């Protein structure tokens, strides 16, 4: 069984802990804040997942969308989701779908034989 992705920064841990207080916020009609914080946590989880898959395929250094696009492509990417878009531009339902399909998504490095 795989380990769940851990949120590294203390700031993101505090943001995700506020999800537990979400019912209190919803009671006082602050749904937008709860949704925003949940989306931030989803983005962080997706970012960590993509970075791990990128490194597992042989990518080195800091992960970035631009670097991954230059070095290879994603296989098993869910249909209907844009693969050439930065994580910050994905919507909440798209982030959830990526996390649901994490087992099928792999990064494929392009060979550089010249």
pLDDT along the chain (114 residues), means of 10: 52 56 56 64 90 88 79 87 85 90 89 58
* Amino acid 21: pLDDT: 52
State residue 114's pLDDT score.
46
Provide the CATH topology of domain 10-109: GTF2I-like repeat (3.90.1460)
Q: Tell me, what's the pLDDT at 29?
A: 56
Kindly list the domain boundaries of the chain, sorted by start residue.
10-109
Q: How far apart are the first and last CA of the chain?
A: 40
Q: Residue 74: how many CA atoms within 13 Å on its side-chain side?
A: 26
Alpha-carbon gap, residue 7 to 95, rounded angstroms? 16
The CA-based dihedral angle spanning residues 96, 40, 1, 98, taken in that order and rounded to the nearest 10 degrees: 30
């Amino acid at each position: 069984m795989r380990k769940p992705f851990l949120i590294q920064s203390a700031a993101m841990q505090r943001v995700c802990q506020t999800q537990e207080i979400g019912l209190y916020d919803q009671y006082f009609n602050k749904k937008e804040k709860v949704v925003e914080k949940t989306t931030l946590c989803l983005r962080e989880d997706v970012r960590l997942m993509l970075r791990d898959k990128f490194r597992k395929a042989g990518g080195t250094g800091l992960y970035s969308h631009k670097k991954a696009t230059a070095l290879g492509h994603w296989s098993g990417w869910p249909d209907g989701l844009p693969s050439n878009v930065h994580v910050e531009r994905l919507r909440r339902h798209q982030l959830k779908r990526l996390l649901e399909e994490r087992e099928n998504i792999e990064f494929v490095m392009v060979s550089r034989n010249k």
